[in-house]
Amino acid sequence: MTEFEFTGRQMRGKRVAVIGAGIGGLTAALAFARAGAVVEVFEQAAEIKEVGAGIQISPNGARTLIALGCGPAMEAASLKAAHVMPVDALTGRKVTLFNLQDQMPPYRFFHRASLIGLLARAAQDAGAKIYLGVRAVSFGPDGGASTSEGPIKADLIVGADGIHSISRVLTNGAAEPTFTGQVAWRAVVPLRKPMVGAQVWMAPRRHVVMYPLMEGLLNIVAVQERKTWAAEGWHHADDPAHLQAAFADCASGLQDVLSKVEAPLIWGLFRHPVADVWHTKSVAILGDAAHPTLPFLAQGANLAIEDAFVMARCCDVSTDVQAGLARYEALRKPRVTRAIAAANANARNYHLSGIQRRVAHLGLKTLGAVAPQAFLNRLDWLYGYDVTQNDAV
């Protein structure tokens, strides 16, 4: 794949303010800077960092980052995923194995901090400026915004401020999310033996996903159905005994891994609708601000990366920013809606019990033995997507 060349026709010299220096915000900063805009990023945290955890960048996300010139940096900062292996968490037996090695570009495992770091460097190298410790307070209808450091003016403000987005409130009003009846833990432990793929340990009403990171760590995300809920967000500490108790009846191999967890973080999973309105005259939202995504298809970051590229490209070639934003919303809504529906379906499939569980596991085993590519072929609409081609404007 080659790097994508923006025209610079419409965005050259225009001022773009990005609210939030997460994966979506930094990708937007990089894309708009490469399109010739004068880009400033405002991040409320005092430093750009991520609590230690992993993230999966599937081929659709990787393809977008390669188009933005991040290919070599990605190769240096991540591991290629060889396969995904569903496991019966109660018995510890492998259900099947789906080979990922033919995926192009490769499916990759990153430490979040490494991905954030390479995006920040790429955005700055392209000319974007990043301001830390600056919090967005409010937005005005004329394109201005008020921050903790004073007002800012821009031709376009990109709201990449996550699930608690104030830019989403501006464009859509306040709305209460719905608790899904699930909580999730995430943690990392030292990787004790070589591992080249992801494992999905499936049990009734819960599951665990684990995969290796380049830093010699094993990333763990565990989900449990329950009536009581935990606050939304990644940064709530929990007692590791709670995580271990949730899987106490599972196979010894899984229990052994979870016994090494010392400082898990827990959060409640809430369902937010896809935003009805993605832009006003001069404010546009992307990623979790526009379409929070449950973590059952590993697409939250990938969709945000796609959003950022498409927004910048649409603004780059449209007659004006407003027309570009309208085109961006029209292109992205159907795709993210489909991806979110697929993620919701995965949540159900991982947690089956009784006869449904046995039938599903048999089906996966048969599929893996008879037509191993059929599983991935069903996801070609997701992984095979190329924003530089599919979202031509």
Going 86 to 89 to 94 to 96, the CA torsion angle's sign is negative
**pLDDT tens-digit map of 22-38:** 999 999 999 999 999 99
Average pLDDT rounded to a whole number, residues 358-372: 63
Residue 294, both tokens:
């449950």
Residue 6, both tokens:
């923006």
Answer for the pair 24, 288: CB distance below 8 angstroms, yes or no.
Answer: yes
Average pLDDT rounded to a whole number, residues 342-363: 69
Q: How confident is the model at residue 151 (pLDDT cuts 50, 70, 90)?
A: confident
Average pLDDT rounded to a whole number, residues 256-274: 92
The whole-angstrom separation of Cα 366 and Cα 298 is 24
Enumerate the H helices of the chain as residue ranges. 23-34, 59-67, 71-77, 112-125, 166-172, 240-246, 252-258, 300-317, 321-350, 354-370, 372-377, 380-383, 387-390
Residue 46, both tokens:
């005092």
pLDDT higher than 60, residue 392: no
Residue type, 17: A
pLDDT higher than 80, residue 160: yes
The whole-angstrom separation of Cα 264 and Cα 222 is 10
Number of residues in the chain? 393
Name the nearest CA neighbour of 99 among 313, 380, 368: 368
- The pTM of this model reads 0.93
**pLDDT tens-digit map of 225-258:** 988 776 656 568 899 999 999 999 999 999 999 9
